[in-house]
Amino acid sequence: MKKTYLICALLSVLVWGSACRSPYHLQHIERTRILIDKTYDAQPDMAAKAWIHPYQAQVDSMMNPVVGRVGCYLEADRPESPLSNLLTDILMWAGKDYQEKPDFAVYNIGGMRAALAEGDVTIGDVLEVAPFDNKICFVNLTGTKVKELFSQIAMQRGEGVSHGVELEITKDGQLKSARLNGKEIDDAATYRIATIDYVAQGNDKMTAFKSSTDINQPEGEENNVRFVIMDYLREMAKQGITVTAKKEGRIIVKE
């Protein structure tokens, strides 16, 4: 009887051991891009369409309201672009609502996830541009740290900077010169900067922000940058203004 128990125990160990080793081995990996566009509208999956239908009207009612209008195609790019110029200028515009008078603004290019097409701008359009829950915030940096920040922006081949910032950078990411509103950066001065909390934490390699002081970082959801953008577009629409933006030479690449 003891021998029978021993054989059963050994068989159990063998079975358990083999179960822990996967019989599968990776032999091949491939990838491809699948374009999702209106081509698929010609032959919709009726079952999927029926499943989505009850939710579509509700989502459309939230996403389709128009908040403003833009007069040209606005996209983000490095070293400078119409969309990055617009969004940083919006951060500057919003300062008054927080009793702030920033000297300049910074917005990371990586945080701008879509472009704005010419015409009406909906809530959904703004959500695509700024899908994250980043909040507007304001910080202080010394002139020395501002120069460090601009060097880090040069290394990234550009980030969004507001009107008044004038950077000359090289193709290999070196900062050649930095001026603000026509003046050299004063090492001993303190500069107030509008940005988003993600950037203010030193992310996207802008680590100079880790030396920030006097941080004003409102927590409420209403301070999400997407709502700040919507507020700006609504205000412009109320004044009958179609929003535009263009490259101004804020960041210039030189040999």
Instruction: Kindly report which listed range (55-59, 205-209, 214-218) carries the lowest average pLDDT score.
Output: 55-59
Instruction: Kindly report which listed range (7-11, 40-44, 75-79, 99-103) carries the lowest average pLDDT score.
Output: 7-11
Q: How far is CA 149 from CA 96, 145, 155, 212, in A?
A: 24, 6, 10, 11
**CA–CA dist 198, 216 (Å, integer):** 13
| Better pLDDT: 241 or 32 | 241
pLDDT computed for residue 171 by the predictor: 94
Residue 4, both tokens: 């029978």
pLDDT computed for residue 119 by the predictor: 97
| Better pLDDT: 149 or 24 | 149
**CA–CA dist 191, 229 (Å, integer):** 23
**CA–CA dist 65, 161 (Å, integer):** 29
Instruction: Kindly report which listed range (32-41, 43-52, 85-94, 167-176) carries the lowest average pLDDT score.
Output: 32-41
* Amino acid symbol at 209: F
**CA–CA dist 240, 230 (Å, integer):** 15
Kindly report the CA angle at 235 between 232 and 237, in degrees rounded to 5? 110
Q: How far is CA 44 from CA 48, 59, 125, in A?
A: 8, 19, 24
**CA–CA dist 126, 67 (Å, integer):** 9
* Amino acid symbol at 146: V
Q: How far is CA 90 from CA 41, 59, 71, 84, 240, in A?
A: 37, 27, 16, 10, 17
* Amino acid symbol at 14: L
Q: What is the pLDDT of residues 157-192, one digit of tens each?
A: 999 999 999 999 999 999 999 999 999 999 999 999
Of 71, 175, 158, 64, the residue nearest 112 (C-alpha): 158
pLDDT computed for residue 22 by the predictor: 63
3-state secondary structure of 160: strand
Beta strands in the chain (DSSP E): 66-70, 104-107, 119-122, 136-142, 160-161, 165-170, 175-180, 183-184, 190-196, 213-216, 251-254
Residue for token pair 């001065």: 189
